Structures are given as structure tokens and as C-alpha cells.
A and B are shown apart, each in its own frame.
Chain A
């Protein structure tokens, strides 16, 4: 009975935090940052189509890849901006003491802010994908836009949740310079290690995610090519989904545990 009441009050607190954060995020500053991020991929798609050196075949497929890459970058950046700062923003703003002193306050603030962060990241990524595909469709035409849109949006939502958890964890570990730590993680793990065709790349979000996107977008002849099989061997869709779900579950749980039990220092940064 007590547990039931407690979990209901925690759920209420999480929803209250999420609602408050959502209303707070509707400021002009934040909306303009979101607009900039969402407009980046369609602008780049436009420029890359207009600025190509020669109008030749196979370029249409390349544009799909550019759209996927730029939207991926936008998704990672949006996650980095909003998820990494879940804890540090409270500590630097000296509001942590209020959250920490309420029953379940730490967990409520972490999950509430995480949900809002994921919501906005998913919105920005979806808008970016939609606008980019519209630009592609108008300027080049051809291709299966609906399938591409579905694949990219699903991957975008999965990336949002996964990177949100990873950056939430990094923010909980690195109280100071969480942003720099997240960027170093992004460059090292998601930039370099994810590109190594070995077991270690399973520890990154990008490896299973790109596999799923490739499976959804590329034709069979490329999926059976030497390059693809060397890089992914017999990876499989199920493996990719399990890997992604595992990363999300582990990083999110560790992050919440850290936020719940760690003693954070609320003094100013040195």
C-alpha cells in the first residue's frame, strides 16, 4: 500500500517536473536554438544539391546518406545540449538543494527533465528529417520518400532515447565540464570507435543504429557487398535492437542510481 502511494507520488512529481520544464523550454532563446538545429539539415541538403560538382547518376542515394548524417549530427547535438545539463544546470543554478530535499525529488527532476529533453530532441530531429526529404523530393525527385522518412524518423527516435541516456549518465558522472566530457565521448566513441569493425563498436550507439538505417535504406546489392559484410558480418536486426536497448537500459539505470545516491558538490565551478 505504502509502496503504491510512494510510486504514485513519484509519478506525479515526474509529471509535474516534466510539465514545468516543458513550459520553461518554450522561451524565445530555446525555440530559436531548436529552429537553427532543425533548419540545418535541409539547408545543407539544399546546398549539397546546388553545389555538386557534376550532375550524374547515383547522386540521389548519396543525398539520402547526407540527410541521414546531418540529421544524426543534429540529433546528437540536441541531446548533448539538453540531456547533459540535467544535473549540472541544477547545481550551477543552485536549485539542486530544493530538489534533493524533497522525497523522490532527485529522481523526479532527472526523469522529468530527461523526458522533456527527449521530446524536444525527437521533435527537432523529425522536423529536420521531414524538411530535408522535402527539399530532396522537390529538387531531385525519385526514390521512396515515405520509406526513407519512416526509417530515418524511427532511427532518430531511437537515437534520441539512447543518446539522451548516455549524456544523462555523463552529466551525472562529470559534475564539472560535463559538456566537454560529452563532446570527447562523442568524438572518441561515436566518431572513432564506432567506425572500427570489431566487438568494441558494439559499445557505441552509432554502430547498431547505422546498421538498422542501412538495412532500411540500402538496396540488397550493397547490403551483400564485401564492404558491408566486412563491417557488419552477420550482425542482424535483432542483435542491433538488443544492443541499443541494452545501452539505453544500462546507461539510464546507472545515471538514475548515480543521481539518486551521489553526493554532489553545490559550490561554484573552479
Chain B
């Protein structure tokens, strides 16, 4: 499998502070979420990936290029969207995107055409002709995204892509990321604090805490619960249904119309429908139990804290 990012025991030390402590992971296809509390080392890691700073030790490759030596090639192939506002006052939106295209080696006229095309894709209208310093936070996010993808990079590194966006724009931004990955075959590393975004858009997740990778897994793995089971919700009081079910499986009542059954095997659904028919209790919904990403995140961070203390 060709990896977009391969890191092997990356260490970054600032005098007395250890920012990254042997970070190793591999990122394949799709979207990978990079999670971590503040000060976990995410920004440092991104800077090392882009060749903006050197790792104290360790090695890594991005799209097959050595991060220590081939920073120029890496930056040509990577589109980076920073978390902070970054703009040049006095330039219009379309000029900024064209500027980014030119800095990546696109011919001037083609850069302008491409800038317009990308701004259309990002849902930017006539405001593209306004000076960037007059933009709202949402428009600046779209502009940064346009600048990151204008040169058609193979890998996107997006730092908090949805911060400051309204709910509608947030969904649109995540859809754009998903479109680029699914339809155009790009890979994306999304650093964010917003866990619902990760659940919505990511295929894999890497959790960084105190400079260490505490979890590197697919979302499928993360979602798989420690204890299998189903949540059942009924339209009527569930007591009779629960009593009947409790004869065969461990059951936990969760209110007047909800229960959790600690079993999830083939044929269980059929049994539930039959039981519903027998007890005359109508089922409203059946959900498999999944792990909460919040819980996984908090556990991962807590484990590192406990280990350190």
C-alpha cells in the first residue's frame, strides 16, 4: 500500500520542552483526523510535515519524499490550510488564490483561470473581488481552502477547516473535503477539535497527546464497542417486552420506552420482531451500540496523562 504519510519515531525538542516524543504512524487513503488537546504537538507535527522545521530525530516520508530533504517537492504536492488567518492586506480574494497558484509554478494566466474555477467550487461569489481584509471569518476560511487546493495537490493538510463557519457552511466545507477525497482520489489529514466533524468526514483517526500517538486506528475500529449490544426504543411502555427479552439475554432498562440488550448476533433482530409481535409492543427504532468518539478521545488523553504522572 502506498502511504501518504509515513512517520518513524519523530522527536522534536525545544530546549527543555519535548513537543513530539517518538511519533510514528502511517496514513493511507481517505481522510485521516488528527486529534489532540491543546499543546499536544499537532501544529509542530504539521510544521515538520511541511518542512517548515526540522525534527530533532526520526525520519518520515510524505508521498514517498523525505521530509528532511525534499521539502520543495513535498510543498508542491501538499495543500496546506492553516488554522490562523493568513492574508495579505490590499489584495482581493481572487488575487490571493492566483498568487498561491503562481507560487506553486502555475503560469500566470492559467493561475487566474484556475483561481476562478476553485473559488466557484468553494462557493465564493462576487466577494472574490473584495479586499481580503474586509472578509468575514467564514469567507476567510473558504479563501484559505481555495489557496490550499488551487495547485491540485495530492495531499491536503487542513488545520481546523470548519472553525468559525456557520452550520450550513460547515457541512458544505466537509462535503468539499469528502468530494475531493472520494471523487478525485486525494488524501487529507484534518486536524480539528470538533469531534462530530471527524465522525462525519474521516476514515481514520490519529490521537496525539503530550507529543505521543495514543491512538491510530480506522473509524470503523474506533466505533466498534467493547461490549456488543442493541439499543431498542418502543412506542409504548417497554416493560412487558423487556421482561420477555430478559429471559434469554441480559437487559438494562433505560427509561419507560428504552432498553439496552447486551447481545448482537445474527438472528437477534428476527427474535426481537417476533417478541414485539407477541408482547404487542411496537418498536420505534433499533440501534447498534457504538463507542462515543468523545469517550475514546478522553480515554486516550487520560491514559497518557496517567502514564506520565
Shortest beta-carbon distance from B83 to chain A in Å: 19
With a cutoff of 8 Å between Cβ atoms, the chain B residues found around residue A270 in the complex are: 89-90, 131, 133
Task: Judge whether A52 is part of the interface by a CB distance below 8 angstroms.
Answer: no
- Interface residues in B282-298 by Cβ distance below 8 A to A read none
Closest residue of chain A to B91, judged by CB?
Answer: A270
**B141 to nearest A CB, angstroms?**
17
Residues of A within 8 A of B133 (CB): 267-268, 270
Judged by DSSP, the binding face of B is mixed
A4 within 8 A of partner (CB): no
Is the interface on chain B under 10, 10 to 19, 20 to 34, or 35 or more residues?
under 10
Docked-complex contact A267 and B90, CB < 8 angstroms: no
Check: B254 CB closer than 8 A to any chain A CB.
Answer: no
Main secondary structure of the interface of A (DSSP, over half): loop
Residues of B within 8 A of A268 (CB): 89, 133
Tell me the nearest residue of chain B to A269, going by C-beta.
Answer: B89
Contact bitstring A115-153, B, C-beta under 8 A = 1, else 0: 000000000000000000000000000000000000000
* Distance of B135 from chain A, by nearest CB (Å): 10
B175 near A: Cβ within 8 Å?
no
- Report how far A269 CA is from B134 CA in the complex, Å: 11
Q: In the bound complex, what is the Cα–Cα distance between A191 and B90 (angstroms)?
A: 33
Whole-angstrom distance from the CB of A212 to the nearest CB of chain B? 45
Residues of A within 8 A of B89 (CB): 267-270
Contacts of B90 in A (CB 8 A): 270
- C-alpha gap A269/B132 in the complex (Å): 11
Which residues of chain B from 126 to 147 have any CB-CB distance to chain A below 8 Å in the complex? 131, 133-134
A-B contact count (CB 8 A): 11
Interface residues of B in 83-107 (CB under 8 A from A): 89-90
From A267, A268, A269, name the one whose CB has the most chain B CB atoms within 10 angstroms. A268
Q: List 7 additional A-B contacts (Cβ < 8 Å) besides A267-B133, A270-B89.
A: A267-B89, A267-B134, A268-B89, A268-B133, A270-B90, A270-B131, A270-B133
CA A269 to CA B89, docked complex, whole Å: 7
Q: What residue in chain A is nearest B134 (Cβ atoms)?
A: A267
A270 and B131 alpha carbons, distance in the complex (Å):
9
- Give Cα A104 to B131, complex, Å: 32
A269 contacts across to B, CB distance below 8 A:
89
Residues of A within 8 A of B131 (CB): 267, 270
Closest to B133 in A: A268
- Closest beta carbon of chain A to B136's beta carbon, Å: 12
Shortest distance between the CB of B243 and any CB in chain A (Å): 64
Residues of chain A in range 86-112 having any CB-CB distance to chain B below 8 Å? none
| Nearest neighbor of A267 in chain B, beta-carbon distance | B133
Q: Would you list 11 pairs from A and B whose C-beta atoms are within 8 A, ordered by A residue?
A: A267-B89, A267-B131, A267-B133, A267-B134, A268-B89, A268-B133, A269-B89, A270-B89, A270-B90, A270-B131, A270-B133
Complex: A267 Cα to B90 Cα, angstroms: 11
* B residues near A267, Cβ cutoff 8 Å: 89, 131, 133-134
B86 to chain A, nearest CB (A): 12
How far is B91's CA from A269's CA once the two chains are assembled, in angstroms? 11
- Nearest chain A CB to B5's CB is how many angstroms away? 35
Residues of chain A from 6 to 61 with CB closer than 8 A to chain B in the complex: none
- Within the complex, what minimum Cβ distance (angstroms) separates A92 from chain B? 11
CB distance from A260 to the nearest CB of B (A): 25
Q: Which of A250-269 contact B (CB under 8 A)?
A: 267-269
Inter-chain CA distance A268–B90, complex, in Å, is: 9
CB distance from B91 to the nearest CB of A (A): 9
The proximity string for B residues 64-89 relative to A, scoring 1 for CB distances below 8 Å and 0 otherwise, is 00000000000000000000000001
Could you tell me the distance between the alpha carbons of A267 and B85 in the complex, rounded to whole angstroms?
A: 14
Q: How far is the CA of A267 from the CA of B133 in the complex (A)?
A: 6
What 0/1 readout, one digit per residue, does chain A (227-270) give for beta carbons within 8 Å of chain B?
A: 00000000000000000000000000000000000000001111
CA distance in complex: A267, B89 (Å) = 9
Give A9 to B225 CA distance when docked, in angstroms.
64
Question: In the bound complex, what is the Cα–Cα distance between A268 and B131 (angstroms)?
Answer: 10
| Nearest 5 interchain pairs by C-beta | A270-B90, A268-B133, A268-B89, A267-B133, A270-B89
The CA-CA distance from A268 to B140 in the complex, in Å, is 14
| Alpha-carbon distance between A268 and B133 when the two chains are bound, in angstroms | 6
A93 to nearest B CB, angstroms?
A: 15
- Distance in angstroms between the alpha carbons of A270 and B89 in the assembled complex: 5
Q: Closest CB-CB distance, B69 to chain A, in whole Å?
A: 37
Complex CA–CA separation, A267 to B140 (angstroms): 14
* Shortest beta-carbon distance from A268 to chain B in Å: 4
B199-224 Cβ-contact flags toward A at 8 Å (1 or 0): 00000000000000000000000000
Measured between C-beta atoms, what is the minimum distance from A4 to chain B in Å?
A: 43
Closest CB of chain A to B139's CB: distance in Å? Answer: 13
Closest to B85 in A: A268
- A-facing mask of B110-133, CB < 8 A → 1, else 0? 000000000000000000000101
A267 to B134, CA, bound (A): 7
Chain B 221-250 residues near chain A, CB threshold 8 A: none
Chain A residue with the shortest CB-CB distance to B90: A270
Looking at the assembled complex, report how far the CB atom of A249 sits from the nearest CB atom of chain B, in whole angstroms.
Answer: 37
Closest to B135 in A: A267
**Complex CA–CA separation, A183 to B265 (angstroms):** 82
